[in-house]
Chain A
């Protein structure tokens, strides 16, 4: 498994360094082309605000991972300190990508965005023609792993950001959320994120209040929805809103106890109101929470939600790791079988050629219906005969050198070198050949994954079935 990975992330480097080494979408194609021309047979780059990682299958046997860091330094015109970089090889590199795609390596554990970012990196690399069989398979496996972690564990569940925690709180109180009226006080980043999250949850009636009208209108223009309300109108119109999110830099209370009490008296006691204050210092009088019918939460309260969710996500890590071990084992098996796949493909093609030629030569000796029966019979016999050498070649447990030697013998015995080129072209797909079920060796089992030590008997069978 000749896969190398180097990179830097939030675990190793400060944000200003990460910003400098990040490779933008516009740069990606050029960077991949440069990697392929200088170092790599296959290459892919994952670059987000938190990480820049390069995965390659080197084009030369004498390749060293430091060459990748040197290349990145040249590409970005920077001197890159080695302390800020990790360097991984083979299973380590594969496992790392699977962890990244599963959100296990994210700054916020279980960050759902990373799955989309890895997918995008895969698509760009694929479109630019820098992926071969190995990296293509690795990225597919990593994305599959990420999806499995998402569906089979709770690693991605619950809010892990302040704005989303506020929206999640709204969802826990109101039903349905769609008809509710929301007021976002403050036109900063948090206000914007909250407004977008609320809109994403179906809240269509959103009002933005801000000290400067221009900034509020800019925000409304940017997100494409919402109406403006002057900050001074909060007191008079507070009762109109079911959800109020306050996120400003003001030094005083923008919503006082008296203001909230007056608003509550104008609302029916059956109508609940949620006021979330995510400003520092607080912009909502904490006593507002004592008024009946009002849920008032501040940054500390929401941090409690986030901490609880992150703790729950941490509990999910062993389950996510078990999935990674399974997928890594399957990927390792695929890699182990990769060198013999051209031989197996040639063997299949050769036997198919002989079979077709012999059948055509004798076609006139049979009626149409008899010919079809003979065709089936001969195909079945040929399949069983070639199944025996294939079973030896596709034994994932065998030593790779021994397997390669066997592959050489099979090539000689069946004269496979003669039509190598044509068959190799047909073996260019990503899947290893399918072993005839009757010829699968009984002792063929899957090696224990180096990373986790979980035996995965049956994984090869599953994989072979999927490929079939």
Chain B
């Protein structure tokens, strides 16, 4: 099983890269031959990802939510799966290249910085149910923020295209500004909801479960900051009626904070969030 996991781990970035390439060709060249291969390529990547998650779960003996890098591979998986559902239900493939690229980014970071499969061992504290809820909620929240960021980036790109009279492929293929804004806001809202659950569980119950719990943990602080950025962006949009473009920038700032929180803070800090 360890060998299978290793093979899948090596193959997965390649499969995602191939899928991103095919989606990009379909987006820019708009030829049937590429469009026909978009979904199969994504299904191949998703199948390898599923096998990897299954194999790693089997190797470790628990769900993959116990290190940030495991979470990243799950976020990557969730993004791909969510996008596939959207594609199947709407038939819209115009945003595929961006979502699959995002999944590739998360998977690559996970594969590059995650602990090696042999050296890995999970802290027993992570087997607690409340910790499971905390981690799962954070995982879904971060995935929603990722989706929000992709929509936000596409919004800014399309806005710039229209402003500067560049009516090229992006203008033709992307959905409307209004729809991108709506999707970004909805994804943010979902992200805030789940991150709120993750934070509340952490603040209320974690001190009793995790002996080394600290309110000054860098991950804790960065997560709260991210939460404030997203809540601020939504308040600015719906209460203060701020220009949508500025809200999208705030959303992207929040997403960058998410990336920083999950990578640099984990690499540099030695707080209680390091379990691997």
Contacts and interface: CB of A to CB of B under 8 A. Distances in A.
A172 B30 contact: no
A312 to B, nearest CB: 7
B172 interface: yes
A173 B177 contact: yes
Interface in B8-67: 30, 32
B178 A176 contact: yes
A360 interface: no
Interface in B217-238: 237
Given A272-B177, A297-B165, A308-B172, 10 more contacts: A152-B32, A169-B162, A171-B176, A172-B158, A175-B177, A175-B179, A269-B241, A293-B243, A308-B168, A312-B172
A174 B178 contact: yes
A305 interface: yes
Contacts of B165: 297, 301, 304
Contact of B167 (A154, A292, A304): A304
B237 A305 contact: no
A175 B162 contact: no
B176 A173 contact: yes
B243 A175 contact: no
A293 B177 CA distance: 12
Nearest to A173: B177
Contact of A154 (B30, B175, B242): B30
A76 B37 CA distance: 55
B178 A305 contact: no
A371 interface: no
A175 B178 contact: yes
20 contacts: A152-B32, A171-B176, A172-B162, A173-B177, A175-B175, A175-B181, A175-B182, A176-B178, A270-B241, A272-B177, A272-B244, A293-B243, A295-B162, A295-B163, A297-B165, A304-B167, A305-B167, A308-B171, A309-B167, A309-B172
Residue from B168, B237, B244 with most neighbouring chain A CB atoms (10 Å): B244
Residue from B32, B175, B176 with most neighbouring chain A CB atoms (10 Å): B176
B30 A308 contact: no
Contact of A172 (B168, B171, B241, B243): B171
B127 to A, nearest CB: 46
A158 interface: yes
A174 B181 CA distance: 10
Contacts of B30: 154
A400 B176 CA distance: 57
Nearest to B244: A270
Contacts of A175: 175-179, 181-182
Contacts of B241: 268-271
B182 to A, nearest CB: 6
Give the interface size class of chain A. 20 to 34
Contacts of B242: 269-270
Interface of B: 30, 32, 158, 162-163, 165, 167-168, 171-172, 175-179, 181-182, 237, 241-244
Residue from A157, A158, A272, A305 with most neighbouring chain B CB atoms (10 Å): A272
A311 to B, nearest CB: 10
Contacts of A268: 241
A352 B247 CA distance: 78
Given A293-B243, A301-B165, A312-B172, A172 B177 contact: yes
Interface in A263-281: 268-272
A151 B152 CA distance: 31
Interface in A125-169: 152, 154, 157-158, 169
B243 A292 contact: yes
B178 A173 contact: yes
A305 B172 CA distance: 10
Interface in A287-316: 292-293, 295, 297, 301, 304-305, 308-309, 312
A269 B179 CA distance: 17
A309 B171 CA distance: 11
A269 B30 CA distance: 36
B32 A173 contact: no
A339 B158 CA distance: 59
Contacts of B172: 157-158, 308-309, 312
A145 B73 CA distance: 47
A369 B49 CA distance: 60
Nearest to A169: B162
Residue from A271, A295, A301, A308 with most neighbouring chain B CB atoms (10 Å): A308
A132 B172 CA distance: 43
A270 B241 CA distance: 5
Contacts of A154: 30
Contacts of B237: 270
A172 B163 CA distance: 12
A167 to B, nearest CB: 12
Contacts of A171: 176
B36 to A, nearest CB: 12
A216 to B, nearest CB: 29
Interface in A37-76: none
A269 to B, nearest CB: 5
A269 B243 contact: yes
Nearest to B29: A315
B151 to A, nearest CB: 12
Contacts of B168: 308
A275 B177 CA distance: 16
A201 B171 CA distance: 18
A12 to B, nearest CB: 32
B215 to A, nearest CB: 36
Contacts of A301: 165
A157 B241 CA distance: 35
Given A292-B243, A293-B243, A172 B176 contact: yes
A396 B269 CA distance: 78
B52 to A, nearest CB: 37
A65 to B, nearest CB: 39
Contact of B243 (A270, A304, A308, A309): A270
A157 B177 CA distance: 20
Contacts of B179: 175
